[in-house]
Amino acid sequence: MYLLARVLSQQRKRKDAEALLRESIRILEEAGLGESPACLQRMMFHSMELMNLKQLDEAENLRRKILHIMELSKGWDSLGTTAAAVQLSVTLVALGKLRESEELLQRCLAVRKKILSEDHIQVASILVHLARLSLLRIISDIKVNNDLCRSHLVRGKRLVNDAIRIAEKILNPSREDQKKPKNAFGIELERIAATGILLEALEIVGHLDSGRMAIQAWAPANSVLLLRLPREHMKHGYFKIDVVRIPDKCWLFIWPAKYRISLRYTTLRIHFNKFEKFDYEHFEQALRRWVSLYNEPRTRNIVSNALRPLYMKCWRTLVGATRHAPFMDAPHLQDLLAESQQIMK
């Protein structure tokens, strides 16, 4: 039943697969094998099918049951328990229970650092989950608490930087790490996992820049000035303003006002906000790293084949983040975007 359910799942016959999985688990539980590794494996797969069918409440209950069994049998200081907790956290995120999901992930992070190491790929995967949670917290709090959103933004950036550092350390090992005995198949699997983590982290960088601009849009302006200029002046890309004094610790943001562009004139909205600069360099480094994954022979095959959909998804996110960004016309960034488009072709 279980094997047939896996085949049906591959054929996208998810309802039939889910029914078979449910029956398979019932048989094992009635035989007193409800907490056996075989039954736990089926429960895990069943919860994935429930997620695919959008039956989130059932998936949550099943994953809580799995975590409870793992806690009783192996305790929290176990990689198997952390794997079950991560799966539950994903379901909690889908249900909007962000705080509980974050608490679970923080606990998993501490356990994995203790059992494995600070720079292990499984630690990096938790960091990516936590960074994505920070993005969701920005979205949920953006209209309520702007200062809290900024703290989520700073935290998300720190988490994603740590994940990128770990992934790159695995992809570019030191001489000492290269001397450690490892089989070729294990090394290749680790490289694929590290590349996947790196792509997820780079995608989050793009979302972070979008989140930064969203926070800026919702931040209350200290002052706003509308300036009407002939369109001829806009062709040159720069102009001089002498009569405006900018308060200390404030940044100047200028963009065209929507629906105020005519044939001869355009109106600019000039905002003075107490907010940090956009991190253009951080974004540019992310895009440059994306390009290098294809240009480097060691990772070209991985992103072209094993991780092709994730590589393309990451590119769409990074490029999408530049569309409304004030730095998109920078020459060096335009060259990078052109190179990335050529890779996609």
Residues 214-254 have pLDDT tens digits of 655 555 544 455 556 555 655 555 555 554 555 444 444 44
Q: What is the predicted pLDDT for the residue at 324? A: 56
Q: What is the predicted pLDDT for the residue at 274? A: 44
Neighbours of 235 (CB within 10 A): 7
pTM: 0.77
Q: Cα separation of 274 and 219, whole Å?
A: 9
Q: Cα separation of 173 and 82, whole Å?
A: 26
Residue 313 pLDDT > 90: yes
The residue-averaged pLDDT of 190-199 equals 94
Q: What is the predicted pLDDT for the residue at 176? A: 73
- Residue 296 maps to a domain: yes
Q: Cα separation of 74 and 280, whole Å?
A: 46
Q: Which residues pair with 256 in a beta bridge?
A: 268
- Residue 320 maps to a domain: yes
Helix (H, G, I), strand (E, B) or coil at 107: helix
Helix (H, G, I), strand (E, B) or coil at 226: strand
- Residue 333 maps to a domain: yes
Q: Which residues pair with 254 in a beta bridge?
A: 270
The residue-averaged pLDDT of 266-281 equals 51
**Can you read off the two tokens belonging to residue 278?**
């956009």
- Residue 138 maps to a domain: no
- Residue 310 maps to a domain: yes
Helix (H, G, I), strand (E, B) or coil at 211: helix
Q: What is the predicted pLDDT for the residue at 300? A: 93
- Residue 154 maps to a domain: no
Domain enclosing residue 316, as ranges: 284-344
The residue-averaged pLDDT of 1-9 equals 96
- Residue 103 maps to a domain: no
Structurally, the chain folds into a number of domains equal to 1
**Can you read off the two tokens belonging to residue 176?**
């000492």
**Can you read off the two tokens belonging to residue 85?**
């907790």
